[in-house]
Amino acid sequence: MIGILIFPDFQLLDASGPASVFEIARRFVPDAPKIQMVAAQTGPVRSSSGVEVVATSLRSVKTISTLVVAGGLGVEAATDCRDTLAFVKRLAKDGTRVASVCSGAYVLAAAGLLDGRKATTHWCRTQDFVSRYPRVKLDPDRIFLRDGNVWTSAGITAGIDLALAIAAEDHGEAVAKDVACQLVLYHRRSGGQSQFSSLLEFKTPNGRFGPLLAWVREHLDQPLNVEILADRAGLSPRHFARIFTVETGSTPSKAIERLRLEVAREHVKSSGEPIERVAETTGFRDPERMRRAFVRAFGQPPQSIRRASRDN
Report the C-alpha gap between 91 and 85 in whole angstroms.
10
Residue type, 1: M
Question: Would you list the DSSP string of 135-157?
Answer: TSEE-TT-SEEEETTEEEE-STT
Report the C-alpha gap between 64 and 22 in whole angstroms.
14
Strands (DSSP E) found in the chain: 2-5, 35-39, 43-46, 52-57, 66-69, 97-100, 118-119, 137-138, 144-147, 150-153
The residues pairing with 118 across neighbouring beta strands, listed in sequence order, are: 137
By CB atoms closer than 10 A (0-12, 13-18, 19+), residue 218 is exposed
SS3 5: strand
Spot the catalytic one: 81, 102, 124, 181. 102
Asked about 81 being catalytic, the answer comes back as no
Report the C-alpha gap between 141 and 173 in whole angstroms.
24
Report the C-alpha gap between 209 and 215 in whole angstroms.
10
Beta strand pairing status for 137-138 and 118-119?
A: parallel
Report the C-alpha gap between 278 and 259 in whole angstroms.
13
Question: Would you list the DSSP string of 180-220?
Answer: HHHTT--SS--S-GGGTS-TTT-S-TT-TTHHHHHHHHHTT
Residue 236 sits at the vertex; the CA angle it makes with 231 and 237, to the nearest 5 degrees, is: 80
Instruction: Return the active site residues.
Output: 102
